Protein backbone atom coordinates (compact mmCIF):
# COMPACT_ATOMS: atom_id res chain seq x y z
CA UNK A 1 0.00 0.00 0.00
CA UNK A 2 2.80 2.44 -0.78
CA UNK A 3 1.14 4.31 -3.66
CA UNK A 4 -1.66 6.87 -3.17
CA UNK A 5 -4.92 5.38 -4.36
CA UNK A 6 -8.44 6.35 -5.33
CA UNK A 7 -9.75 9.67 -6.54
CA UNK A 8 -9.30 12.91 -4.61
CA UNK A 9 -12.51 13.55 -2.69
CA UNK A 10 -14.14 16.27 -0.65
CA UNK A 11 -17.35 15.72 1.31
CA UNK A 12 -19.00 18.88 2.58
CA UNK A 13 -21.97 18.89 4.97
CA UNK A 14 -23.84 22.20 5.09
CA UNK A 15 -26.11 22.48 8.11
CA UNK A 16 -27.64 19.04 7.77
CA UNK A 17 -30.55 17.89 9.93
CA UNK A 18 -32.32 14.55 10.13
CA UNK A 19 -35.82 13.64 11.29
CA UNK A 20 -36.91 9.98 11.42
CA UNK A 21 -40.57 9.14 11.97
CA UNK A 22 -41.22 12.60 13.40
CA UNK A 23 -38.23 12.46 15.79
CA UNK A 24 -35.39 14.95 15.31
CA UNK A 25 -32.12 12.99 15.50
CA UNK A 26 -29.63 15.88 15.02
CA UNK A 27 -29.55 19.40 13.60
CA UNK A 28 -27.24 21.77 11.77
CA UNK A 29 -24.11 19.72 11.28
CA UNK A 30 -21.57 21.52 9.14
CA UNK A 31 -18.16 20.06 8.37
CA UNK A 32 -15.81 19.09 5.56
CA UNK A 33 -13.77 15.93 5.01
CA UNK A 34 -10.99 15.44 2.51
CA UNK A 35 -8.95 12.56 1.09
CA UNK A 36 -6.57 11.33 3.76
CA UNK A 37 -8.88 12.24 6.63
CA UNK A 38 -9.76 9.64 9.25
CA UNK A 39 -12.97 10.94 10.81
CA UNK A 40 -14.69 9.71 13.98
CA UNK A 41 -18.43 10.27 14.45
CA UNK A 42 -18.83 10.12 18.23
CA UNK A 43 -21.44 10.62 20.93
CA UNK A 44 -23.60 8.75 23.36
CA UNK A 45 -25.71 5.76 22.37
CA UNK A 46 -28.66 6.77 20.19
CA UNK A 47 -27.28 10.24 19.34
CA UNK A 48 -27.23 9.45 15.62
CA UNK A 49 -23.73 8.23 14.69
CA UNK A 50 -24.99 5.45 12.41
CA UNK A 51 -27.64 7.77 11.01
CA UNK A 52 -25.02 10.38 10.09
CA UNK A 53 -22.76 7.70 8.59
CA UNK A 54 -25.70 6.57 6.46
CA UNK A 55 -26.44 10.18 5.43
CA UNK A 56 -22.82 10.57 4.29
CA UNK A 57 -23.14 7.25 2.45
CA UNK A 58 -26.30 8.60 0.74
CA UNK A 59 -28.43 5.83 2.27
CA UNK A 60 -30.34 7.99 4.78
CA UNK A 61 -32.21 11.06 3.45
CA UNK A 62 -31.65 14.39 5.21
CA UNK A 63 -34.47 16.73 6.16
CA UNK A 64 -32.61 19.96 5.44
CA UNK A 65 -29.15 21.20 4.50
CA UNK A 66 -26.96 19.68 1.83
CA UNK A 67 -24.19 17.16 1.29
CA UNK A 68 -21.79 18.04 -1.50
CA UNK A 69 -19.35 15.49 -2.87
CA UNK A 70 -16.60 17.12 -4.91
CA UNK A 71 -18.81 20.19 -5.15
CA UNK A 72 -21.83 18.27 -6.47
CA UNK A 73 -25.10 18.52 -4.56
CA UNK A 74 -26.03 14.89 -3.84
CA UNK A 75 -29.71 15.79 -3.29
CA UNK A 76 -29.91 16.04 -7.07
CA UNK A 77 -28.58 12.50 -7.58
CA UNK A 78 -31.05 9.84 -8.66
CA UNK A 79 -30.75 6.13 -7.74
CA UNK A 80 -28.56 5.48 -10.78
CA UNK A 81 -26.12 8.26 -9.78
CA UNK A 82 -25.95 6.86 -6.22
CA UNK A 83 -25.36 3.31 -7.43
CA UNK A 84 -22.55 4.54 -9.68
CA UNK A 85 -21.01 6.44 -6.74
CA UNK A 86 -21.15 3.37 -4.44
CA UNK A 87 -19.81 1.09 -7.13
CA UNK A 88 -16.89 3.32 -8.12
CA UNK A 89 -15.83 5.03 -4.93
CA UNK A 90 -17.34 3.69 -1.72
CA UNK A 91 -16.96 0.68 0.58
CA UNK A 92 -18.95 -0.13 3.71
CA UNK A 93 -17.51 -2.04 6.69
CA UNK A 94 -19.89 -3.32 9.37
CA UNK A 95 -19.60 -4.36 13.02
CA UNK A 96 -21.02 -7.79 12.11
CA UNK A 97 -18.53 -8.07 9.20
CA UNK A 98 -21.00 -8.29 6.27
CA UNK A 99 -19.48 -11.46 4.88
CA UNK A 100 -20.92 -14.58 3.24
CA UNK A 101 -19.85 -17.34 5.61
CA UNK A 102 -20.27 -20.30 3.24
CA UNK A 103 -18.10 -18.71 0.55
CA UNK A 104 -14.32 -18.60 0.47
CA UNK A 105 -12.17 -15.81 1.86
CA UNK A 106 -11.06 -14.86 -1.67
CA UNK A 107 -14.64 -14.74 -2.98
CA UNK A 108 -15.68 -12.59 -0.03
CA UNK A 109 -13.02 -10.07 -0.99
CA UNK A 110 -13.72 -9.97 -4.72
CA UNK A 111 -17.43 -10.94 -4.84
CA UNK A 112 -16.48 -12.24 -8.28
CA UNK A 113 -15.43 -15.89 -8.77
CA UNK A 114 -13.37 -15.07 -11.88
CA UNK A 115 -11.12 -12.73 -9.87
CA UNK A 116 -10.85 -14.80 -6.69
CA UNK A 117 -7.57 -16.43 -7.69
CA UNK A 118 -5.86 -13.25 -8.94
CA UNK A 119 -2.42 -12.07 -7.83
CA UNK A 120 -3.98 -8.86 -6.52
CA UNK A 121 -6.08 -10.87 -4.06
CA UNK A 122 -3.03 -12.81 -2.88
CA UNK A 123 -1.10 -9.54 -2.32
CA UNK A 124 -3.97 -8.03 -0.36
CA UNK A 125 -4.36 -11.15 1.78
CA UNK A 126 -0.67 -10.74 2.68
CA UNK A 127 -1.28 -7.10 3.64
CA UNK A 128 -4.18 -7.90 5.96
CA UNK A 129 -2.44 -10.90 7.53
CA UNK A 130 -4.57 -13.58 5.85
CA UNK A 131 -1.89 -15.01 3.57
CA UNK A 132 -2.62 -18.53 2.36
CA UNK A 133 -6.21 -18.39 3.65
CA UNK A 134 -7.81 -17.57 0.26
CA UNK A 135 -9.62 -20.89 -0.31
CA UNK A 136 -10.84 -21.39 3.27
CA UNK A 137 -14.53 -20.85 3.96
CA UNK A 138 -15.13 -17.53 5.70
CA UNK A 139 -17.08 -19.27 8.47
CA UNK A 140 -13.84 -20.64 9.98
CA UNK A 141 -12.29 -17.18 10.45
CA UNK A 142 -12.17 -15.40 13.80
CA UNK A 143 -14.05 -12.11 14.26
CA UNK A 144 -10.87 -10.09 13.73
CA UNK A 145 -10.04 -12.03 10.59
CA UNK A 146 -13.57 -11.54 9.26
CA UNK A 147 -13.30 -7.80 9.83
CA UNK A 148 -10.05 -7.76 7.84
CA UNK A 149 -12.02 -9.09 4.85
CA UNK A 150 -14.00 -5.84 4.83
CA UNK A 151 -10.78 -3.87 4.81
CA UNK A 152 -9.31 -6.12 2.11
CA UNK A 153 -12.34 -5.30 -0.08
CA UNK A 154 -11.65 -1.58 0.37
CA UNK A 155 -7.98 -2.05 -0.54
CA UNK A 156 -8.78 -4.17 -3.61
CA UNK A 157 -11.21 -1.55 -4.80
CA UNK A 158 -8.88 1.40 -4.03
CA UNK A 159 -11.97 2.83 -2.31
CA UNK A 160 -11.94 6.61 -2.14
CA UNK A 161 -14.35 6.61 0.81
CA UNK A 162 -14.57 3.92 3.49
CA UNK A 163 -17.65 3.99 5.73
CA UNK A 164 -17.30 1.88 8.85
CA UNK A 165 -19.95 1.34 11.53
CA UNK A 166 -18.36 0.27 14.85
CA UNK A 167 -15.61 -1.67 13.04
CA UNK A 168 -13.78 -2.57 16.27
CA UNK A 169 -16.75 -3.16 18.58
CA UNK A 170 -16.72 -6.96 18.37
CA UNK A 171 -12.94 -7.41 18.48
CA UNK A 172 -10.41 -8.28 21.16
CA UNK A 173 -7.60 -5.87 21.92
CA UNK A 174 -5.06 -7.41 19.52
CA UNK A 175 -7.45 -7.52 16.56
CA UNK A 176 -8.70 -4.03 17.37
CA UNK A 177 -5.15 -2.76 17.01
CA UNK A 178 -4.67 -4.61 13.70
CA UNK A 179 -7.91 -3.17 12.28
CA UNK A 180 -7.07 0.35 13.50
CA UNK A 181 -3.61 0.16 11.86
CA UNK A 182 -5.12 -1.04 8.56
CA UNK A 183 -7.75 1.71 8.55
CA UNK A 184 -5.04 4.29 9.28
CA UNK A 185 -3.02 2.95 6.40
CA UNK A 186 -6.07 3.29 4.11
CA UNK A 187 -6.39 6.97 5.12
CA UNK A 188 -2.69 7.65 4.67
CA UNK A 189 -3.00 6.15 1.19
CA UNK A 190 -5.64 8.75 0.33
CA UNK A 191 -9.03 7.34 1.34
CA UNK A 192 -11.49 9.27 3.48
CA UNK A 193 -12.21 6.87 6.35
CA UNK A 194 -15.43 7.70 8.23
CA UNK A 195 -16.11 5.78 11.44
CA UNK A 196 -19.16 5.66 13.70
CA UNK A 197 -17.58 4.51 16.94
CA UNK A 198 -17.57 4.30 20.74
CA UNK A 199 -13.95 3.09 20.77
CA UNK A 200 -11.73 5.73 22.42
CA UNK A 201 -8.59 4.11 21.09
CA UNK A 202 -9.92 4.36 17.53
CA UNK A 203 -11.10 7.95 18.09
CA UNK A 204 -7.63 8.92 19.32
CA UNK A 205 -6.17 7.80 15.97
CA UNK A 206 -8.51 10.03 13.96
CA UNK A 207 -7.43 13.48 12.75
CA UNK A 208 -11.04 14.74 12.85
CA UNK A 209 -13.78 14.11 15.40
CA UNK A 210 -17.41 15.09 14.87
CA UNK A 211 -19.25 14.83 18.19
CA UNK A 212 -23.00 14.53 17.86
CA UNK A 213 -23.81 15.22 21.49
CA UNK A 214 -23.80 18.96 20.90
CA UNK A 215 -26.06 18.71 17.85
CA UNK A 216 -28.99 17.18 19.71
CA UNK A 217 -32.20 19.01 20.46
N1 LIG B 1 -35.50 3.40 10.97
C2 LIG B 1 -35.65 3.99 12.14
N3 LIG B 1 -36.87 4.09 12.70
C4 LIG B 1 -37.06 4.71 13.89
N5 LIG B 1 -36.06 5.26 14.61
C6 LIG B 1 -34.83 5.18 14.10
C7 LIG B 1 -34.53 4.54 12.85
N8 LIG B 1 -33.20 4.65 12.61
C9 LIG B 1 -32.68 5.28 13.67
N10 LIG B 1 -33.64 5.61 14.56
C11 LIG B 1 -33.47 6.32 15.84
O12 LIG B 1 -32.52 7.33 15.65
C13 LIG B 1 -31.71 7.50 16.80
C14 LIG B 1 -30.25 7.44 16.39
O15 LIG B 1 -29.93 6.08 16.03
P16 LIG B 1 -28.44 5.69 15.60
O17 LIG B 1 -28.43 4.23 15.36
O18 LIG B 1 -28.02 6.57 14.48
O19 LIG B 1 -27.63 6.07 16.90
P20 LIG B 1 -26.13 5.69 17.31
O21 LIG B 1 -25.52 6.93 17.88
O22 LIG B 1 -25.43 5.07 16.16
O23 LIG B 1 -26.42 4.64 18.45
P24 LIG B 1 -25.49 3.46 19.05
O25 LIG B 1 -24.25 4.13 19.59
O26 LIG B 1 -26.33 2.90 20.15
O27 LIG B 1 -25.21 2.49 17.94
C28 LIG B 1 -32.12 6.42 17.79
O29 LIG B 1 -32.98 6.98 18.73
C30 LIG B 1 -32.85 5.41 16.91
O31 LIG B 1 -33.84 4.74 17.62
What is this structure's pTM? 0.92
Interface confidence (ipTM) of the complex: 0.96
What's 177-195 look like in SS3? HHHHHHHHHHHHCCCEEEE
Taking residue 8's Cβ as centre, other Cβ atoms within 10 Å add up to 12
> Do residues 117 and 151 touch, judged by C-beta distance below 8 A?
no
Q: Look up residue 207 and give its DSSP letter.
A: S
How many whole angstroms from 189 Cα to the centroid of ligand 1?
A: 32
Q: Supply the pLDDT for residue 2.
A: 45
Q: Supply the pLDDT for residue 1.
A: 46
Measuring from each residue's beta carbon to the nearest atom of ligand 1, which residues come in under 6 Å?
20-21, 25, 43, 45-51, 196
Percentage of the residues of the chain whose pLDDT score is greater than 90: 77
Q: Look up residue 76 and give its DSSP letter.
A: G
The band of 96, judged by pLDDT with boundaries at 50, 70 and 90, is confident
How many whole angstroms from 102 Cα to the centroid of ligand 1?
A: 30
> Do residues 41 and 163 touch, judged by C-beta distance below 8 A?
no
> Do residues 194 and 162 touch, judged by C-beta distance below 8 A?
yes
Report the chain's C-alpha Rg in angstroms.
17
Q: Where are the domains of the chain?
A: 10-100+140-215
Q: What is the mean pLDDT of residues 43-56?
A: 96
Taking residue 30's Cβ as centre, other Cβ atoms within 10 Å add up to 12
Q: Supply the pLDDT for residue 92.
A: 94
Q: Give, in order, the Cα–Cα distances in Å from 174 to each of 79, 82, 91, 144.
A: 40, 36, 24, 9
Fold of the domain spanning 10-100+140-215: Rossmann fold (3.40.50)
CA-nearest residue for atom 6, ligand 1, is: 20
Amino acid sequence: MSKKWGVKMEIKMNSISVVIKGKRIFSNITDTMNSGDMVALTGSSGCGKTTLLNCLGLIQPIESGSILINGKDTSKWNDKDKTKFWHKYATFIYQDYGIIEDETVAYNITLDKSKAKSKAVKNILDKVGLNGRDSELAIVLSGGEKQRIGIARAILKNASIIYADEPTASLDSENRQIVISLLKECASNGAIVILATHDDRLVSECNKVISLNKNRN
